Amino acid sequence: MTSANTPPSPVRLVVLASGSGTLLQALLDAAAAPAAPFEVVAVGADSARRAAPALARGELAGAETFVVEVRDHPDRASWDAALVSQLARHRPDLVISAGFMRVLGAAVLESFGGRIVNTHPALLPSFPGAHGVRDALAHGVKVTGCTVHLVDDGVDTGPVLAQRAVEVLDDDDEDALHERIKTVERALLVDVVTRMTTGGWTVEGRKARFL
């Protein structure tokens, strides 16, 4: 079965982040360009302390911000419900998981499934999970990279939207390799979101393509 998605203009993005927000900043910079096809209307985080830099970036750009702390909720289901409530308040056309270190639960997927985009610092399906860079180095691969994909109910298992390769150098450690991947990852995320928000996309089974 094929599903097609034609976006409105400008597309409303809510960006979720858990750290410094460099991926978020790439989107904010692109959104500030004349006639940009998307706008970042809100930035959300799972920790006010860890994501303080990302939240500050959003505020500086004029986006609303919100935090849904896991520790403030008795269980995962209630945290998921609170996140859905916050997301819905901002009426996103796309939700961007940009370095957001939480697996999105069933309630989020039920409300926004097919419209959630995630980045990952490896060439999926190789090296999914929280340690993609470390795992690629440990495996001894000569080429790794980054992936932008749609989110499903697995961990880094959704349909791939785009990928770019990054060479692994002989003297790479995890930090050095990850920094080179991040540079490519930021550009790739902006390119993917731009293509999604200007022309739309389709998903047929596991295959996603831009219109």
Q: Which DSSP letter does residue 11 get?
A: E
CB-based contact 92:12 (threshold 8 Å): yes
DSSP 3-state of 1? coil
- Complete DSSP assignment for 28-81: HHHHTSTT-SEEEEEEEES-TTTTHHHHHHHHHTT-EEEE--GGGSSSHHHHHH
Dist. CA 160–CA 106, nearest whole Å: 20
* Helix-strand-coil split of the chain, %, nearest 5: 35, 25, 35
Q: Is position 139 annotated as part of the catalytic site?
A: no
Q: Rg for the chain (alpha carbons), in Å?
A: 17
Catalytic residue among 120, 131, 139, 178: 120
Name the residues annotated as catalytic: 120
